[in-house]
Amino acid sequence: MKIEENTIASVHYTGTLPESGEMFDSSEGREPLTFLVGHGQMIPGFEAAMIGAKVGDKKTFTLSPEKAYGERDDAAILQIPRSQFAQLEEQTKLEIGFQLVAQMPHGPSPFTVTELTEEMVTADFNHALAGKELTFSVEVIDIRKASEEEVAHGHIHPAEQPETEQKSGGCGNDGCC
Ligand SMILES: [Zn+2]
């Protein structure tokens, strides 16, 4: 079996920045990364590079920013009145480089404090890896076909339970749908 749309791939990977060689993420020492192919769970270039790979295949590839986390966007840098951080600053003093999470209407959004004055906090909502080329070394550990339900839901369900277990249909127990 090969990695293709609507398969579920498990891979070990190491991500490095080609300019510095710095490692920014790795599955080493953890469970392999498992994802449903073709449903936007991964950055686009990662999936595209892995299409057609078989179990045991090893691949190394470098993605341009557009195929990874996108270019940095100046519109994603916001000025927020420092008074909005008053509650937080009762416990800890804000500093440049702080990574915080804002509760936005569409869900939690992480940002980095990039500038700080008495009045204003500059919050950069760009992904930390936006605007960067990324190199991935990937080894394919497992591939299986997604179930119809998984394809319909666009996400992975836990492996089917033995018949003796209470059947939950995969979804529901953990509130995934
Ligand atoms: Zn589901």
Per-residue pLDDT of 44-71, as tens digits, reads 999 999 999 999 999 999 999 999 999 9
Q: Kindly write down the DSSP assignment for every residue of 93-147, as one continuous string.
A: ---TT-EEEEEETTEEEEEEEEEE-SSEEEEE-S-TTTT--EEEEEEEEEEEEPP
Tell me, which fold does domain 7-69+130-153 have in CATH? Answer: Chitinase A; domain 3 (3.10.50)
Q: Measure 59 CA to ligand 1 centroid, in angstroms.
A: 30
Q: What are 157's two structure tokens?
A: 């369900």
Q: Measure 102 CA to ligand 1 centroid, in angstroms.
A: 27
pTM (global) more than 0.75: yes
CATH, range 74-124: 2.40.10.330
| CATH 3.10.50.40-classified regions of the chain | 7-69+130-153
**pLDDT-based confidence at residue 124 (cuts at 50, 70, 90):** very high
Q: Measure 70 CA to ligand 1 centroid, in angstroms.
A: 28
Q: Measure 147 CA to ligand 1 centroid, in angstroms.
A: 10
| CATH 2.40.10.330-classified regions of the chain | 74-124
For residues 106-112, average pLDDT: 91
